[in-house]
Amino acid sequence: MGYGYAESPFRAELEFAYRTAEADGAAGTTGDFASTTLALNGYYDFKPVAGGRLTPFVEAGLAYVTEIDFDISGTRRNRGAGVFGYQLMAAAAYPVSDRCSISGELRYFDAGSQSLSGPGGTLSADYRSVDIALGTAFRF
């Protein structure tokens, strides 16, 4: 959910995100790395290109990671929470109507190195990701 400031290239957004990815570790360990985050993002829209139809933009945000877990195949579940991170994004939006646009995004997210503890012990993991996303925006 966001807000665009009238006649300004700046926008703000409150974002809730769920991320998950396969993870590989030492000695052939595999599992699933997942998190939920709440972020406050700021956007800057550049001047439209391609005949005024494509608007490139960048974003920076501060995130609070509400949960991190790493499920190691068949052995243990580790959890962490309450850490801060940040994200940076480059993207472009294309309007499909006066109130709707689609976008393509490249996003970098970093919550640093985490110590996750669970029944099988403690696990240290760097939590960084590069995400490619497609988005849709509706304006009211």
Q: Convert the pLDDT of each residue in 80-107 to its tens digit.
A: 778 899 999 999 999 999 999 999 999 9
Is 134 part of any domain? no
Is 138 part of any domain? no
> Residue 111 in 3-state DSSP?
strand
Is 136 part of any domain? no
Phi/psi zone of residue 41: left (φ > 0), alpha (ψ -120 to 50 degrees), beta?
Answer: beta
Is 105 part of any domain? no
pLDDT for 30 equals 74
Is 100 part of any domain? no
Is-contact 88 105, C-beta < 8 A? no
pLDDT for 21 equals 79
- pLDDT greater than 80 at residue 31: no
Average pLDDT, the chain: 87
- pLDDT greater than 90 at residue 140: no
More confident residue, 79 or 89: 89
Is 94 part of any domain? no
Is 82 part of any domain? yes
Q: How many domains does the chain have?
A: 1
Which domain range does residue 26 map to? 2-86+112-127
Is 91 part of any domain? no
